[in-house]
Amino acid sequence: MAVLAMSLEGQIPSLDINRTVRVALVHDIGEALIGDITPHCGVSEEDKQNLEAEAVQKISSFVPAISDEINALWWEYEKRETLSAKVVFHLDKFDMVAQADAYERKYGIDLDQFFTSTKGCFSLEPFTAWDKELREKRNVRRENDQNKDKDNDDKI
């Protein structure tokens, strides 16, 4: 995620790349202790945030010299009030959709829930353009796959 953030330099006006990279580095650090809590886990957003906050606090305690900064950056991401936090949120969501697309292509599985859950969540460029392009290519691929299936059925 941090490397992707670095690649945005000059693409988003007034974006502080160094700050964004730092937010990207810590945005999911709590998952190292508690794992990735998804909506399917049945954990409320409030409980998830509390668990992650405790995990971030514990992890950051191992590096006291930067503990306060780690916690501040993590909360910055959670609140999503700054441009850096919003960009990292967009990166995280786009990475998820791009990974789902890659898995669909590689394994021939349908991961539509990832595309449904992120529809309309991109409000910043270049993410809106990336999302539009990915979804258009996916739709073409799915149509082509359906046509192949239909052609195969017709041959039987």
Cα end-to-end distance, the chain, whole Å: 47
Could you tell me the residue ranges of all domains in the chain?
Answer: 2-155
How far is Cα 21 from Cα 88, in angstroms, rounded to an integer?
A: 8
CB 144 within 8 A of CB 124: no
Q: What is the per-residue pLDDT for 38?
A: 85
Residues 7-43: tens digit of each pLDDT: 999 999 999 999 999 999 999 999 999 999 988 899 9
CATH of 2-155, one of 1.10.3210.10, 1.10.540.10, 3.40.640.10, 1.10.10.10: 1.10.3210.10
pTM for the predicted model, two decimal places: 0.90
Residues 67-79: tens digit of each pLDDT: 999 999 999 999 9
In the predicted model, is pLDDT for residue 57 greater than 90?
yes
Distances (CA, A) of 148 to 135, 142, 151, 153: 20, 10, 5, 9
In the predicted model, is pLDDT for residue 114 greater than 80?
yes
How many alpha carbons lie under 13 Å from residue 118 in its C-beta half-sphere? 26
The dihedral over CA atoms of 100, 132, 94, 76, expressed in degrees to the nearest 10, equals: -150
How far is Cα 151 from Cα 65, in angstroms, rounded to an integer?
A: 64
Residue the block writes with tokens 């349908």: 110
In the predicted model, is pLDDT for residue 144 greater than 70?
yes
Confidence of residue 148 (pLDDT cuts 50, 70, 90): confident
Average pLDDT, the chain: 94
How far is Cα 115 from Cα 127, in angstroms, rounded to an integer?
A: 14
In the predicted model, is pLDDT for residue 154 greater than 70?
no
Interval 116-145 mean pLDDT: 96
Q: What is the per-residue pLDDT for 146?
A: 85
Q: Which residue has the higher pLDDT, 115 or 151?
A: 115
